[in-house]
Amino acid sequence: MRIHCLGGGLVGSFVTKNLVNSGFEVHLYDIVSRDTEANFHLGDAMSFDHSIADLIVNMLPGSIGGKATELLKDSGQKIVDLSFSEQTPDRHNGIVSSILWDVGIAPGLSNMLVGMAFREFGFLDKVTIKVGGNPLIPDSEWSYMAPFSPHDVIAEYTRPARIVVDGKHTQVDAMSDLHTIDASGREMEAFLTDGLRSLLDIPATHMGEYTVRWPGHIQKYQQSKLTADELVDAWKLDPQRQEFTWMEVFISSGDEQQRWIVEDRGKNGDSSMARTTGLVTACCVKAWAENQDMLSPGVHAPEDLPDDVVRMVIDVMRSEGVSIELQ
């Protein structure tokens, strides 16, 4: 199978390497030269011919990735979309391609866990997702390093958050409902961001997604006068500094409750966010490669994936050293 990977950033490079090691013919396209075992093509990813690909993995950042999916939506191909664009592909109807979107950790694995719970319980009273990738030890500055496109992080902080309150969709300012949480023994802060996306289609009484940061980080951002480019430089990832990704997915339905805790600290030079995001993406690619009819033409969210695929994702992540616990 020939797989075209668009974008070779931290997550894109991890996914590409994972797919190469799994025996696929992988072609990586990026405007930045990458040291990779895949067949590498330097230049604008969308300036190349992708019609010969059996499956395309879109890992371009933000709006660029959204435009790429827009161009590919009527190609009739299988597309895994990890671009996290504000303009989401579910707005398209009657498309020829098969698109599986938002297949990272959150959105992504979080959606899969909520989808499984909905199929089990039939209705959800409360869903809260709390997630963040952060340095293991806070500092006197930002206590933060951007584990993916910093411009996408800024979009998280500024884009209004869509949530569910009393069964109704509503929109609130990003960074609202700021509160202290216990993140597996760490005192951190959580605030609302627009991460529910396709989960808004699942019936629930209350639902919200929160970004998790060390205390003081978001207040510093709110008071900062730095430009976006200056923030990109200030939040530059230091590969020598220890970091971790942590997520809690809490679900209740009547007397039933589920609390999933996911944590990773990176491994073999790969960051925790690259691993927790990229392993989900790679698993979805492999599942689709093994079952070509897994998804029909149209747009599909992670929560639409069958339970056996979700369990496979969890098993693979655990086998790679990611801690996933159901409490």
Q: Which residues of the chain have pLDDT under 50?
A: none
Residue 279: C-alpha distances to residues 48, 60, 159, 275, 297 (Å): 26, 17, 27, 6, 24
Q: Which residues contact 18 (CB under 8 A, 6 or more apart)?
A: 278, 279, 282
Q: What is the pLDDT of residue 65?
A: 86
pLDDT at 98: 95
- Residues with Cβ within 8 Å of 199's Cβ and at least 6 positions away in sequence, in order, are 107, 110, 111, 114, 127, 207, 209, 301, 303
Domains and CATH numbers, the chain: 2-105+277-326 (3.40.50.720), 109-268 (3.30.360.10)
Within 8 A by CB and 6+ apart from 25, the residues are 1, 2, 3, 39
Where does residue 94 rank: exposed (0-12), middle (13-18), buried (19+ CB within 10 A)?
Answer: exposed
pLDDT of residue 301: 96
Calpha distance 231→210 (Å, rounded): 21
- How far is 311 from 280, CA to CA, in rounded Å? 11
CB atoms under 10 Å from CB of 326, counted, come to 10
pLDDT the model gives residue 153: 86
pLDDT at res. 239: 86
pLDDT value for 250? 98
pLDDT score for 123: 94
**pLDDT given at position 5:** 98
Q: Yes or no: say if 143 and 217 are a contact pair by the CB < 8 Å rule.
A: yes
pLDDT of the residue at 151: 78
From 102, 106, 136, select the one nearest 271 (Cα to Cα). Answer: 136
Render pLDDT for 7-56 as a digit per residue (tens, 0 to 9): 999 899 999 999 999 999 999 999 999 999 999 999 999 999 999 999 99
What is the structure's pLDDT at 147? 75
**Does the CA dihedral 137-139-142-147 come out positive or negative?**
negative
- For residue 321, the one-letter residue type is G
| Predicted pLDDT of residue 66 | 86
Contact 212, 147 (CB under 8 A): no
Is residue 68 a contact partner of residue 62, using CB atoms and an 8 Å limit?
no
Quick check: 273 and 108 in contact, CB under 8 A? Answer: no
